[in-house]
A and B are shown apart, each in its own frame.
Chain A
Amino acid sequence: MTRKLVAQLPFIVLLVVAFTFSLLTPKFATTANAANLLTQASSAAVLAGGMSFVLLASCIDLSVGSQMFFAAAVAGKLLLAYESVPLAIVAMPLVGVCCGAVHGLLVTWAGLAPFIATMASLFVLRGAGLWLTETRAMNLPAEFTGYADATVAGFPLPIVIACVTLLALTYLHRRTAFGRQIVAIGHDREEAYKAGINCSRTIWQVYLVSGVCCAIAGFISLTQLGTVSPSFGRDREFNAIAAAVLGGTSLSGGTGSILPGAAIGAILVTMVFNGLNLIDANPYTYPLITGTVILFAILCDAVRHRHFATR
């Protein structure tokens, strides 16, 4: 029975946090705030989904924030140079795929430890983005930022994009051979190799998926913000890891889920800040709370992992 309880732990924590905030401030439990919360959580959910994918294969991608920034910088430059929004929208996933491909090569072909490769590329991509924007904030034209408020069948566009992406990721994870092989690799890379899986190619593809997710999350945030500022996407990787782990994805690979898990994790992380903001908590406590949320996520993953050793 305890295994089921732990499986549902993320959802339970979500309800508890939501309940406490709605007690603290009546403004929290309103439908308007719920919509606002989901819109804010959409880009975090897409990032958390991509991060869960990478964690499933027992790898890590610390450069998601910088990938978002670089993609946004490229899109911004194209927008201002060629004034065509569709070109910018298409360019972002392409940039994501290229970044993901490079990360995949670094981890598989060059044999670097995932977190060293992606930590170094965190700074390289931040530098590249700054180079493109020459550290100047680029204000984007209205048609681009219009997407933030556009609605599809009544639902805000960001939420729709996030749901579509998460559904696709879940399909990839549960319904395709690629997804099943990732779970196998995440469990034990040596055994997966012995079972006949081409580990290098699969892990390379995982980083492609992570790159695309960063581009999509970048698009959503960019339309909301309306400007490519030099600090765009900074520290987003920490929230993504916390959301993925709070959602039940294990840090040592093999276990975890995209749709119920990562989504709940992202909403939980965003809810904490939304709630804090509403109760006018001292804004300088936010980074402190982010760190504590991440530590809590890591500790409960370690306990969950050791308690339910899957082997």
Chain B
Amino acid sequence: MSWRWMRYLLASAMLFAAGCGNNKPAAQQIDGQLRIGIAFETLQTEYWVASLDNLRNELNKRNAEIVEVVADGDANRQLEQVQSLITRHVDGIVLVPKDSRTCVPMIRAANKANIPIVLYNRGAATGAGPHVVVVADNRSITRATVSKMVEVARQRGRKLKAAILIGDLGDINAIERREGFDEIVAENPDVVEVVARIPTEWNQEKAFAGITNALQANPEIEFIFCSSDFLFPSVISALKSANRYLPVNDPNHVVLGGFDGDATAYGMLKEGYLDADGVQDVQFECQQAVDALYKMNRGETVDAVLPDPGFVIHQGNLETDAERMWGSQVGSHK
């Protein structure tokens, strides 16, 4: 019996001794250079990849030391990762939370360690304590995009059947985009009638099965809004197998609309298949986030919400606004 107890004591004693003896973070700190932690929920879509790249550029400009962690959709792991960032004494955190509620304890922990925290692209629920949010106004961008789509639909002169691919209902942005879509559709009952609402939970396979069956159930769908461009590949292959993926000027072209403004959308726009796409100005948002962090670090006050108006790109303003669209720079995938 004694041998086993002795070994446990040995192991734990060694662990604690090392722990107490060494409290100072090992990496020395070049004065003025900040260590910034970036906590992303997922890199599943091109939008997130582009955001991460832009954040890195902004931080490299200020030669900050970057610590990146990705939670791959697990809120509990993200909480553990944020706590480990805090214990590594970072000077600021850019957080892309899985959803508006699970980030509340993270924000509270950051505030307790008085580390400035900026939420990127997704806001937090009420009562989370002081933090800054850089977020695109999903509702207004969606309203602008869908009204552009309605304009195109109105030229058909008949009522079109519409379908919407909804994102993960736990994600504030997905809900705001759905509400934006519903508001515009409600305002133009004569032009558009929603016949299919397809929940995708940001999962490609569910999107593909949903849209294929929806086209199967009512083949006369001619108006599809995608809550995120990353779902477009599934929509394209579904339309192709029903051979209804037709250019804009074709009489029975299916009116398509998206959100994010990634490279796929840019490609579709250029080839003339996509009618309108709500774009989140990634460079602008990243710059805002990093500036906010540095200001807070210097003790200046920053207002709580930094909105990104974003803009709608469509066949009309394609040539003029193309460069402002981040999807055009990045290319489909390196």
A contacts B: CB pair < 8 Å: yes
Query: Which A positions have Cβ atoms within 8 angstroms of B?
Result: 25, 27, 32-33, 36, 39-40, 80, 130, 134-140, 145, 148-149, 221, 224-227, 229-232, 273-274, 277-278, 280, 283-284
How far apart are A284's CB and chain B's nearest CB, in angstroms? Answer: 7
Q: Which residues of chain B are near A274, meaning CB under 8 Å?
A: 213
Q: Which residues of chain B are near A232, meaning CB under 8 Å?
A: 204-205
- The CA-CA distance from A138 to B204 in the complex, in Å, is 11
The interface centre, meaning the residue of B42, B49, B216 with most chain A CB atoms within 10 A of its CB, is B216
State the 7 A-B residue pairs at the shortest beta-carbon distance, nearest first: A277-B213, A229-B204, A226-B233, A227-B233, A226-B237, A135-B43, A283-B199
Residue of B nearest to A227 (CB): B233
Residue of A nearest to B214 (CB): A277
How far apart are B175's CB and chain A's nearest CB, in angstroms? Answer: 15
A137 touches B217 (CB 8 A): no
Tell me which of B72, B209, B210 contacts A135 (CB under 8 A).
B72
Q: Which residues of chain B are near A227, meaning CB under 8 Å?
A: 204, 233-234
- The CA-CA distance from A56 to B253 in the complex, in Å, is 50
Q: Which residues of chain A are near B205, meaning CB under 8 Å?
A: 221, 225, 229, 231-232
Grouping DSSP codes into helix (H, G, I), strand (E, B) and loop, the B interface class, with mixed when no group exceeds half, is: helix
Q: Which residues of chain B are near A221, meaning CB under 8 Å?
A: 205
Q: Which residues of chain B are near A277, meaning CB under 8 Å?
A: 209-210, 213-214, 217
* B320 at interface by CB-CB < 8 Å: no
A136 touches B44 (CB 8 A): yes
- Interface flags for B290-334 (1: CB within 8 Å of A; 0: not) read 000000000000000000000000000000000000000000110
A135 touches B234 (CB 8 A): no
B204 touches A136 (CB 8 A): no
- The CA-CA distance from A159 to B302 in the complex, in Å, is 59
A284 touches B199 (CB 8 A): yes
Q: Which residues of chain A are near B216, meaning CB under 8 Å?
A: 27, 32-33, 36, 278
A231 touches B203 (CB 8 A): yes
Q: Which residues of chain A are near B241, meaning CB under 8 Å?
A: 39, 148-149, 224
Tell me which of B72, B199, B237, B264 contacts A224 (CB under 8 A).
B237
Q: Which residues of chain A are near B43, meaning CB under 8 Å?
A: 134-136
Can you list 24 contacts pairing A with B, beta carbon distance less than 8 Å? A25-B217, A36-B216, A40-B209, A135-B70, A136-B49, A137-B44, A138-B333, A139-B264, A145-B233, A145-B237, A148-B240, A224-B208, A225-B205, A226-B234, A227-B204, A227-B234, A229-B204, A230-B42, A230-B44, A231-B203, A231-B204, A277-B213, A280-B217, A283-B198
Question: Knowing that A134-B43, A135-B44, A226-B234 are A-B contacts, what are 10 other residue pairs whose CB atoms are under 8 Å apart, sorted by A's residue number?
Answer: A135-B43, A135-B72, A145-B237, A149-B240, A225-B208, A226-B236, A226-B237, A227-B234, A229-B44, A277-B213
- The CA-CA distance from A295 to B282 in the complex, in Å, is 47
* B46 at interface by CB-CB < 8 Å: yes
Given contacts A36-B212, A136-B49, contact A225 B44 (CB under 8 A): no
B72 touches A230 (CB 8 A): yes
- The CA-CA distance from A230 to B217 in the complex, in Å, is 29
CB contact list, B39-65 vs A, under 8 A: 42-46, 49
* B120 at interface by CB-CB < 8 Å: no
Q: Which residues of chain A are near B223, meaning CB under 8 Å?
A: none
- Interface flags for B8-51 (1: CB within 8 Å of A; 0: not) read 00000000000000000000000000000000001111100100
- The CA-CA distance from A229 to B46 in the complex, in Å, is 11
